[in-house]
Amino acid sequence: MEQYKQEFIEFMVDCQVLKFGDFVTKSGRKTPFFVNTGFYRTGAQLRRLGEYYARAIHDKFGLEFDVLFGPAYKGIPLTVAATIAISELYGTDIRYCSNRKEVKDHGDKGILLGSPIQDGDRVVLIEDVTTAGTSIQETLPIIRAQGDVQPVGLAVSVDRMERGTGTKSALKEIEEKYGLQTTAIVTMAEVVEHLYNREYKGRVIIDDEMKKAIDAYYEQYGAK
């Protein structure tokens, strides 16, 4: 596993973004782990988060794209942080763009903020965690309405590796339904690999009992 992936897993734990215990997802599934990106709350945290996204995007898509698009609202700081990081790490100036929930009819008018999307643009989308692909379903028509553009792929922070609407993972469903490549900074398999029976800052985060709970969850909800 790449060093930046290991660092990102520990970064999520430090920020209390990744937690283990008893939780219920929005879809009603009882889960022993939970990812809440709302706990990235400082400038330093966003700077590091942008760097991890930049590395994952570079590894999967290279830098052969023009615009990084982050759906409102959580995608707005993600796209800003990641484009800054891409510039600093790789010396490439990628444009950023997000949508508004409400169309603005004065000043900087329209549904988009940041850079306009133009004919011929290659667009990579960025999100926090995708479980059902609802945001992509809402976002792609907005992007395609801007002109003759090419949606290239989707980058998320964590691949939960559980079923979407069918038996395949949400990311695999997005790939097949929309023709997009997808990538994640880390998968939950990598999280377990890195933290299982390993002491981190004085405690074992995934012990045998938690590992059994995670295995049972994937037995019930894991993607096939």
- Is 131 within any annotated ligand binding site? yes
Contact 98, 115 (CB under 8 A): no
Say whether 74 counts as a known binding-site residue: yes
Q: Give CA–CA dist 42/129, Å, rounded.
A: 19
Residues in CB range of 117: below 8 A, 6 or more apart: 67, 69, 97, 123, 143, 146, 147, 149
- Among the listed residues 58, 104, 177, 224, the single catalytic one is 104
Residue 106, annotated ligand binder?
Answer: yes
Answer yes or no: is 127 a known binding residue: yes
Strand partners, 68: 96, 124
Q: Is 212 annotated as a binding residue?
A: no
177 is in an annotated binding site: no
Rounded Cα distance between 167 and 133, Å, is 14
Tokens encoding 85 = 């990081």
C-alpha gyration radius of the chain: 18
130 is an annotated ligand-binding site residue: yes
Active site residue 106: yes
- 53 marked ligand binding residue: no
DSSP state for residue 193 in the 8-state scheme: H
Does the annotation list 201 as a binding residue?
no
Confirm whether residue 160 is marked as ligand binding: yes
Q: Which of 5, 19, 58, 106 does the annotation list as catalytic?
A: 106
Inter-helix orientation angle 188-195/208-221, to 10°: 160
189 contacts 222 by C-beta, under 8 angstroms? no
The answer to whether 32 and 209 are in contact (CB under 8 A) is no
Does 82 show up as a binding residue in the annotation?
Answer: no
Is 104 labelled a binding residue? Answer: yes
Helix (H) or strand (E) holding 34: strand 30-35
73 has binding-site annotation: yes
Based on the residue annotation, tell me whether 104 is a catalytic residue of this protein. Answer: yes
Cis-peptide into 96, omega within 30 deg: no
Binding residues for 5-phospho-alpha-D-ribose 1-diphosphate: 26, 73-74, 100-101, 104, 106, 127-135
Catalytic residues: 104, 106
Binding residues: 26, 73-74, 100-101, 104, 106, 127-135, 160
Binding residues for orotate: 131, 160
